[in-house]
Amino acid sequence: MIPRIAISTGEPAGIGPDLCTTLVGHRFAAELVLIGDPQLLAQRADKNNIQWDTPPAYRPRTSPRSGALGILPVTLATPASAGRLDSRNAAYVLETLDHALQGCLGGEFQALVTAPVQKETINTAGIPFTGHTEYLAAHSRSGPVVMMLATPGLRVALATTHLPLSAVATAITQEGLEATLRCLQEELTTRFGITSPRILVAGLNPHAGEGGYLGREEIDVIEPVIRRLRGKGMHITGPLPADTLFTPPWLAQADAVLAMYHDQGLPVLKHMGFGNSVNITLGLPFIRTSVDHGTALDKAGTGQADAGSLIAALEMAIELAQGELRSKRRCPGVQGELRSKRGCPGVQGELRSKRGRPGAG
């Protein structure tokens, strides 16, 4: 089964366009559609000494072609210079995402891979924007979504995403935490083929609150949710002190870790696999993966950008999309979420065999 994957090219002043032009040297078991300004891509390829014959403009086809590469053109508002942000191009960045969203929701694309964007530039243009995860959830009218990063040996999901540290404690509620854990359980089961996921939950406070002496969030919020979901058959352990949770004995017992906030879990994951990690949005009605890094303005146009994380994100998106296509063939007429709940066991067999249960990988 050949999926068609949309790739938004990200902040035009950053390394997103650079990384996208490197894809011409790779062959994937999918059709790739770059969404962005063709002239920008050609200019960045030239600066980086990449042999670039501008791919043809993308035209919807009945059947995707393995190894094909096309461009869905979106024109910059103003010419972009590598490393120099310009808020006049903020709407352009969001337009690339909107094209991708429309194609994914309409079934034209089987997955979306996003290059990094610069949040501050979009906000400077007067457009409220906290990140890809929140934007895609809002514009696809999704329910609760979860940000999860994965690298070989570890998956880390987040209870909260892009918030100031001072706002984290009040943002963690029983209702929100339960929705996050349910979403994580569902996606690990249906997309990653893990029959009975084992989830470790970090505490919010040092030493997981130390019985209330270092904070009551564990007692008042986290523990009641875990007890309730355990009673429904979920395999959840916690709340655990974050400084010992991320050690081999604990991770050997886990398929995923739920961290309470961004900088509690992601530094560990990125230390373990930076450049080979993938950002995955769980709970969307389509597959979305992304790189594990930012726009790296200092590397844009220098030829020094490493495409490893983009390639890992693409490979993950292709693998997940192939699983969904196989599932759809087995159970025609049943939509994604219903299909995964009503049967078609073993759809994600290859994912299960490659990643396996041990080590949350």
pLDDT digits (tens, 9 = 90+) for 320-354: 999 888 877 665 544 444 333 323 333 233 323 33
Whether residue 282 contacts residue 146, with contact meaning beta carbons closer than 8 Å, is answered with yes
Mean pLDDT, rounded, for 34-57: 95
pLDDT one-digit tens code per residue, 234-279? 999 999 999 999 999 999 999 999 999 999 999 999 999 887 899 9
What is the predicted pLDDT for the residue at 275? 79
CB 152 within 8 A of CB 276: yes
Q: Is the pLDDT of residue 20 over 70?
A: yes
Q: Is the pLDDT of residue 44 over 50?
A: yes
Fold of the domain spanning 1-142+284-330: Isopropylmalate Dehydrogenase (3.40.718)
Examine the pLDDT at 45 and tell me if it is beyond 90: yes
pLDDT at position 361 over 70 = no
Question: What pLDDT shows up at residue 162?
Answer: 87
pLDDT at 340: 37
The span from the CA of 267 to the CA of 293, in Å, is 12
Distance in angstroms (rounded) separating the CA atoms of residues 14 and 271: 23
Instruction: Say yes or no to pLDDT of 18 above 60.
Output: yes
- Average pLDDT over every residue of 78-89: 97
pLDDT of 171 higher than 90: yes
Q: 144-279+354-361 belongs to which homologous superfamily?
A: Isopropylmalate Dehydrogenase (3.40.718.10)
Structure token digits, residue 97: 């995402």
What's the pLDDT score for residue 332?
52
Can 1-142+284-330 and 144-279+354-361 be said to share one CATH topology? yes
Which are the contacts of 352, defined by CB distance < 8 A and separation ≥ 6?
A: 192, 193, 194, 195
**Placement of tokens 């067999």 in the chain:** 349
Q: Residue with structure tokens 């995403």?
A: 161
Inform me whether the pLDDT recorded for 124 exceeds 50: yes
Closest CA to 111 of 259, 298, 313, 292: 313
pLDDT of residue 290: 96
| Tokens matching residue 357 | 């249960």
Q: Evaluate if residue 113 carries a pLDDT over 80.
A: yes
Question: What pTM value is reported for the model?
Answer: 0.86
Domain map (residue ranges) of the chain = 1-142+284-330, 144-279+354-361
